[in-house]
Amino acid sequence: MDLLVVTGLSGAGKSRAVDALEDIGYYCVDNLPPSLMTKFADLCAASGGHMGRIAIVTDSRGGSMFAGVMAGLDELSHNHSYKVMFLEASTEALIRRYKETRRKHPLIAEHAGSIEEAVESERELLKPIRARADYIIDTSLLSPAQLKERITKLFLGNSSSGLTIHCMSFGFKYGSAGEADLVFDVRCLPNPYYVEELKNHTGLESCVSDYVMQYPQSKEFSKKLLDLIDFLIPLYCNEGKSQLVIAIGCTGGKHRSVTLSEMLYEHLKEKGYHVSVDHRDIRKS
């Protein structure tokens, strides 16, 4: 049985994550008290294989019952293997979302109506389970469609198998990649943005990628990057890491970072790894 526990900050996108999981065949149950996780997993396991992919959502909406989440996970681990996916976002992004939707944060009553204090309190409350998470996704700068695509790519295979590697490009001007395990800055490489006939193209097009990679420093950078990644991945595997997020950033996230992310993706795919790629800021103006 492929069992996934979904949790994270309120407003970070758990509902959309569940929608994406259901679309790829997960049976999802929302807002389950932690004390019932093992009983529910036992019930699913007894179905004779009819419920092979299960996602359990548990979070601070459970109030005082959620306080037992770590004990619930410990109990669950006695009879079932599982992975934890944690969704988070910046405080600014969460406050903006709550103001736009006019929904109440589950902890707001405890903080005299202050959304910011409620968010920070929940962040502190969730630190132990975040530390246990196998997958951490920062949705601060992801559109709903990008989040769905990310979830789909991450779990379209078997989430219980080996290391999943996710390559992403981003633009520093829009904010760094908070969820990344490794971040590489390629703003040191020649920038196609300043070439008039290239500025409106992207690193997905050969005219841009050929321009970036024609320079000796780009070739040397890519060689050293691939050597480092090839060295690190077996070490992460030996430590039992489930997800490795490699982010490559340039100024706007359209040219150099896209070129290098695609190159890294193709390299890892040829090596046989379970790898995906996306370009966070490629469509931004």
- Name, in order, each residue with C-beta under 8 angstroms of 80's C-beta and a sequence gap of 6 or more: 1, 3, 38, 41, 45
The pair of three-digit structure tokens given for residue 17, joined into one six-digit string: 């994550």
pLDDT in tens, 242-275: 889 999 999 999 999 999 999 999 999 999 998 9
Structural domains in the chain, CATH included, are: 2-161 (3.40.50.300), 165-279 (no CATH)
pLDDT in tens, 130-171: 999 999 999 999 988 899 888 988 887 654 456 889 999 999
What is the predicted pLDDT for the residue at 238?
83
pLDDT in tens, 176-197: 998 899 999 999 999 999 999 9
For residue 104, the 8-state DSSP code is: P
Pick the residue with more confidence: 159 or 127?
127
The rounded distance, in Å, linking the Cα atoms of 137 and 151 is 9
Q: Is the pLDDT of residue 198 over 90?
A: yes
Q: What is the pTM of this model?
A: 0.76
The rounded distance, in Å, linking the Cα atoms of 165 and 30 is 27
Q: Which of 2, 1, 62 is nearest to 34 (CA)?
A: 62
The pair of three-digit structure tokens given for residue 131, joined into one six-digit string: 């530390």
What is the predicted pLDDT for the residue at 157?
60
What is the predicted pLDDT for the residue at 162?
66
